[in-house]
Structure 1
Amino acid sequence: MEQDNQIFGIRAIIEAIEAGKDIDKVFIQKEANGELMNELTKTLKKNNVNFSYVPIEKLNRLTKKNHQGAIATIAPISFVSMETLVEDVLAKKEKPLFVILDQLSDARNFGAIIRTAVCCGADGIIISKNGAAPVNGDTVKTSAGAVFNIPICKVDHIKDAVFYLQGSGVTTLGATEKAEQEIYDVDLNVPIAIIMGSEDKGINPSVLKIIDVKAKLPMFSVIDSLNVSVACGAFLYEAIRQRR
């Protein structure tokens, strides 16, 4: 992890959050306590900043400096609001293409999806504030720098993003092996948001209930699923094929 993308020390992290810095994630030492640490956790929760408790060994690997039990990573990009993203894109395009990632947790998968999304001309990527893969050095490297070429926004809940897009006339399509129809039977030549789930659990059941369309990829093996970045690529390129 790049030292330039780190903030260490409890008070420094609190001040960075209150100053409006784009904090990607905060790592807090397990079982750490004290008045200042309690203030930090309250600030994190109040501002919906993604954080997790980790062993001190992990913190010591991230930096050799005095971290006081807390290290924050700063995103190398600035996030945009979902409302701004959707409004700006709809003002310019009749058939936008968005990607929603529901609890995707691997930074390298995230980076690979970003790279493919940029290559396919996607208009933006939407992720959740909590539980999502970090936008860090691995993400930037795997995306081959594409992370700087597409708007990314964070939302409190993926369901909120789905409702907002639906209200804006965008069809929401979930990639799931539970679907009855294949992606090749779905009309993608419309305003659409493709939703990909986490590596292990797929799309959250509560999200599946509210999306417009579900689709799957055909599988011809005892292996019943693809890597999420590969599956996302297949969905995106089918959208491109239909729109050509």
Structure 2
Amino acid sequence: MDKKDLILGKNALREAFAAEIRIQKIFISETLDKEDMKELLKLAHQHKVPILKVAKQKLDRLSRSNHQGVIGLNSAIPFYQSQNLVDNILFHGKNPALCVCDGITDVRNFGAIARSAEIFGLHGIVIPQKDSAPVNSESIKASSGALLSLPVCREKNLVHSIKQFKKMGLSILCASEKAEKNIRDLDLNKSIAIVLGSEGTGVSREVLNEADELAKIPQIGSIASLNVSVAAGIFFYEWMLQNQNELNERK
């Protein structure tokens, strides 16, 4: 993590909020007195910035400077409200196409997924506030700058957001090795959210329960699975092939 992405101490964080600096999340030591943090917690709640309680040793690893038990992570980009983004796309007569990252914490994988999403024409990427790779200089570099132009939506409750997408007419497609259908066999020419899970556990059970369809990538070799960013590129490419008419109108 780049040190310039960090905001150290309570006073610095208060000043950052006052200056309207974008903050992605705040780490606080488990040993801090909650009463001492009352003002900062209120500011974080007002600005919808997640608070993560961690061991003091983790804060020490992030920075050797005096952090007072509190470290904020700078947000390198503005975050969008997913429902507003979808509404805007629908208003312009387009079928929204979103990538939803469920538990993808590796910065390089996240950056590569964003890069593919931008290249193949998706409208945005949705991540949870917790259990997600940070949007920082490292992930922006891994995305080759795609995260600077592709709208990113950060949601407190991913399942709730997916339910809202369904109400707005989006079909929820989850990538799963256990799926019976191949991605090539599905109709992707519609409003859609493509959900990708972590390499370790895949899409979470709660999100799978909201899926309209599951799909896998056909394979010939014996290796169990593809890297999630590679799989994402294949899913997005197939979506692009089925939506050429709309994509041609953007050019």
Query: How far did 1:96 drift?
Result: 2.4
Q: Do residues 242 (structure 1) and 242 (structure 2) align?
A: yes
Contact kept, 8 Å, 2:89 with 2:95, in 1: the verdict is: no
Give the 5 Å matches for 1:1-244: 1-13=1-13, 16=16, 21-33=21-33, 35-37=35-37, 40=40, 49-244=49-244
The one-character-per-residue Cα deviations of 1:154-173 (angstroms, maximum 9, x if unpaired) are: 11211122122111111111
C-alpha root-mean-square deviation of aligned residues, in Å?
A: 2.4
| Counterpart Cα distance in 1 of 2:58 and 2:216 | 38
| Counterpart Cα distance in 2 of 1:119 and 1:100 | 16
Q: Any unmatched runs of 5+ in structure 2?
A: 245-251
The one-character-per-residue Cα deviations of 1:20-44 (angstroms, maximum 9, x if unpaired) are: 6432222333544464246656765
Query: How far did 1:49 drift?
Result: 3.4
C-alpha change, 1:47 and 1:130, in structure 2 (3 Å) is farther
Contact kept, 8 Å, 1:173 with 1:192, in 2: the verdict is: yes
Q: Any unmatched runs of 5+ in structure 1?
A: none
Identity percentage of aligned residues: 39
Contact kept, 8 Å, 2:115 with 2:143, in 1: the verdict is: yes
Contact kept, 8 Å, 2:99 with 2:126, in 1: the verdict is: yes
Question: How many residues in Structure 1 have an aligned counterpart in Structure 2?
Answer: 244
Query: How far did 1:204 drift?
Result: 1.1
Moved more, 179-188 or 11-20: 11-20
Query: How far did 1:100 drift?
Result: 0.7
| Counterpart Cα distance in 1 of 2:235 and 2:65 | 44
Query: How far did 1:202 drift?
Result: 1.0
Contact kept, 8 Å, 1:127 with 1:158, in 2: the verdict is: yes
| Counterpart Cα distance in 1 of 2:6 and 2:154 | 20
| Counterpart Cα distance in 2 of 1:224 and 1:102 | 20
C-alpha change, 1:18 and 1:156, in structure 2 (3 Å) is farther
Q: SS at the partner of 1:36?
A: helix
Moved more, 125-134 or 7-16: 7-16
| Counterpart Cα distance in 1 of 2:18 and 2:163 | 29
Contact kept, 8 Å, 1:5 with 1:75, in 2: the verdict is: yes
| Counterpart Cα distance in 2 of 1:26 and 1:94 | 36
Contact kept, 8 Å, 1:26 with 1:51, in 2: the verdict is: yes
* TM value normalised by structure 2: 0.86
Q: SS at the partner of 1:195?
A: strand
Query: How far did 1:217 drift?
Result: 0.9
| Counterpart Cα distance in 1 of 2:93 and 2:175 | 24
C-alpha change, 1:182 and 1:37, in structure 2 (3 Å) is same
| Counterpart Cα distance in 2 of 1:216 and 1:173 | 10
The one-character-per-residue Cα deviations of 1:118-170 (angstroms, maximum 9, x if unpaired) are: 10111011111122111112101101111111111111211122122111111
| Counterpart Cα distance in 2 of 1:104 and 1:46 | 26
Contact kept, 8 Å, 1:179 with 1:214, in 2: the verdict is: yes
